[in-house]
Amino acid sequence: MKKIIIATAITALFSMTANADSGLADRFNEARSYPNKTVETVSHKMLHMQQKKIHMKMHKAEYKNHSN
């Protein structure tokens, strides 16, 4: 009886880890099909300048709204 319970527990453990609905295999296969995929990076200085321009535009618009 003890052996049957242990065998059932081991079977249940392995059946949960081999579940195909998790999508893990799909993620691995997709990663392999796009090995040269790169992410576009923006330099720190470029990002800082963009943020600064946006801030200046917002500041000018706020000043314009308050001066009216």
Q: Where are the beta strands (DSSP E) in 1-68?
A: none
For position 52, what pLDDT does the model report? 94
CA distance 32 to 35: 6
What would you report as the CA-atom Rg of the chain, rounded to the nearest whole angstrom?
A: 28
For position 56, what pLDDT does the model report? 93
Residue 45 has pLDDT above 60, yes or no: yes
Q: What sign does the CA torsion over 20, 21, 27, 33 have?
A: positive
When pLDDT is averaged across residues 4-20 and rounded to a whole number, the result is 74
Three-state secondary structure call for residue 27: helix
pTM of this prediction exceeds 0.85: no
**Domain boundaries defined on the chain:** 2-67
